[in-house]
Amino acid sequence: MKYLITAAVSVFLFSTPLQAQDKLENKTKETKVTEITQGGEKIFESKVVREEIQKLKFTESSEGSYEKDLDLDGSPFKVIKTVWIDNDMDNRYDKMIRLSYDKKFDEQVTFEPTADGLLFKDDEGHSMLVTDYGYYVMNSGQDDEILITVDPSNETY
């Protein structure tokens, strides 16, 4: 019985580092807070947190090798932008909007926070206002797909 417990514990301890190696990531995070005022009075406040996550992959040539090389060009980047909006001037954000998309389309994803949500504009002059709670997909089924979630928030600032 003692050997069985020892074997089970050692298998658990040796398998944990192997699982952790599958989740190699490179992350950056940037925060920008904006206050919109009119006549010296604050109308609403927004906070945008931009995260870049690169899931690191190894080169195919080093797959069976003990010394592995990272494939930085082949490792995909994902961008997550989280926008908090406070439109009633208490110390809590009222709405949280999260955008998720591939980094190569970053310049195409332009928006302006409003008191109620996000206003998206494209190069052709089209605009879309996202305000209601729920889950949205822009450019559904295409490479430049943008996933959007809108949720209530009670986060303080």
pLDDT in tens, 104-120: 888 888 899 999 999 99
State what percent of residues in the chain have pLDDT above 70: 74
Distance CA 32, CA 83 (A): 10
Torsion angle, CA of 11/15/16/17, rounded to 10 degrees? 130
What's the pLDDT at 86? 93
Find out whether 43 and 66 touch, Cβ atoms under 8 Å.
Answer: no
Residue 8 corresponds to which amino acid? A
Kindly report, residue by residue over 75-86, the tens digit of the pLDDT. 788 999 999 999
Find out whether 84 and 95 touch, Cβ atoms under 8 Å.
Answer: yes
Residues of the chain with pLDDT below 70 are: 1-22, 58-74
What's the pLDDT at 119? 95
- What one-character DSSP code corresponds to residue 4? H
What's the pLDDT at 156? 87
**Coil, helix or strand for 68?**
coil
Torsion angle, CA of 127/76/46/151, rounded to 10 degrees? 80
User: In the structure encoding, which two tokens stand for residue 9, read together?
Assistant: 């514990």
